[in-house]
């Protein structure tokens, strides 16, 4: 009985806090930084205070994979801060019902080809149990390795279209050498295999049903005789 009462008391105390944590929403989708080595990009973070009181938050933590050569700044209007060194200085205040659109994340893609993801965790200055999270991911490519041609010795192939896609994605191709084993593999953003398709030499297009894929970034790779030829990005939206 005492255990039950303790559990009941804990739920009674924490439920208001859990409900309160939902009062500030991140309206912008997960931020995606895609580009060549050395590039720098800026994305807007859109927040809404759904409560009836003013809220102030500061950046408490950054979790995830960020390389030593990758730099990140958070700008509130014209004031910019180094996200790695100025955590506590990065504060944002929202009036009751306010939507803010002048909060920006500037991300320098660094000096190496890589990809990863990270979270920015903001907490309320007066109640650290109340927080919101801004999710971001990046994909850094080496321009020296890019393949612009779609015409190879054994196949001519298009890029996937439409891209982004929410139902069916398609690519067109023509196998020049029928004996070549050609296939397309699809992997998730973190490299997990999702699907594999062998290209029929008697056909000229491949239809990929993405309606069952979770929204997000995927990578599709062309293999010729089990040799990795080229990898490109496919974005799935609902």
Summarize pLDDT for 58-68 with one digit per residue, the tens: 999 999 988 88
**Quick one: pLDDT at residue 152?**
81
| pLDDT value at residue 75 | 94
Q: pLDDT value at position 7?
A: 43
Return the pLDDT at 100.
93
Q: Go through 192-203 and write b for each residue having 16 or more CB atoms within 10 A of its CB, e for each that does not.
A: eebeeeebebee
Q: Tell whether the model's pLDDT for residue 3 goes beyond 70.
A: no
Q: pLDDT digit string (tens) for 77-95?
A: 989 999 888 888 999 999 9
pLDDT of 185 > 80? The answer is: yes
Tell me the residue length of the chain: 238
Please say if the pLDDT value at position 10 is more than 60.
no
- pLDDT band at residue 132 under the 50/70/90 scheme: very high
Q: What is the model's pLDDT at position 146?
A: 54
17-28 burial by CB neighbour count: b if 16+ within 10 A, else e? eeebeebbebeb
Is the pLDDT at 182 greater than 80? The verdict is yes
Residue 10 or 115, more confident: 115
* pLDDT higher than 80, residue 20: no
SS (H, E, C) the chain: CHHHHHHHHHHHHHHHHHHHCCCEEECCCCEEEEEECCCEEEEEEEEEECCCCCEEEEEEEEEECCCCCCCEEEEECCEEEECCCCHHHCEEEECCCCEEEEEEEEEECCCCCEEEEEEEEEEECCEEEEEEEEEEEEEEECHHHCCCCCECCCEEECCCECCCECCEEEEEEEECCCCCCEEEEEEECCCCEEEEEECCCCCCEEEEECCCCCCEEEEEEEEECCEEEEEEEEEECC
In the prediction, which pLDDT does 113 show?
87
Question: In this model, does residue 48 exceed pLDDT 70?
Answer: yes
Q: What residue ranges define each of the domains in the chain, with the CATH number in brackets?
A: 24-143 (2.60.40.2310), 149-236 (2.60.40.1930)
Q: How many CB atoms lie within 10 A of CB 177?
A: 12
pLDDT for the residue numbered 145:
61
Q: Which residues pair with 28 in a beta bridge?
A: none
């Amino acid at each position: 009985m005492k255990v039950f009462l303790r559990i009941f008391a804990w739920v009674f105390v924490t439920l208001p806090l859990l409900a309160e944590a939902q009062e500030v929403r991140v309206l912008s989708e997960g931020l995606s930084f895609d580009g060549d080595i050395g590039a720098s990009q800026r994305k807007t973070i859109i927040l809404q205070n759904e409560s009836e009181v003013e809220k102030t938050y500061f950046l408490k933590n950054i979790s995830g994979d960020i390389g030593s050569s990758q730099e990140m700044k958070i700008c509130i209007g014209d004031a910019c801060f180094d996200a790695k060194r100025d955590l506590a200085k990065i504060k944002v205040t929202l009036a009751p019902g306010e939507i803010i659109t002048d909060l920006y994340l500037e991300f320098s893609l660094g000096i190496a080809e890589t990809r990863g993801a990270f979270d920015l965790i903001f907490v309320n200055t007066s109640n650290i149990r109340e927080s919101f999270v801004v999710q971001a991911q990046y994909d850094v490519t080496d321009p020296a390795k890019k393949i612009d041609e779609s015409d190879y010795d054994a196949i001519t192939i298009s890029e996937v279209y439409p891209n982004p896609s929410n139902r069916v994605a398609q690519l067109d191709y023509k196998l020049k050498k029928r004996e070549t084993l050609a296939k397309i593999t699809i992997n998730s953003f973190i490299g997990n295999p999702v699907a594999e398709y062998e290209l029929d030499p008697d056909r000229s297009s491949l239809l990929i049903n993405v309606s069952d894929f979770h929204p997000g970034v995927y990578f599709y790779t062309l293999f010729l005789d089990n040799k990795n030829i080229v990898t490109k990005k496919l974005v799935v939206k609902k």
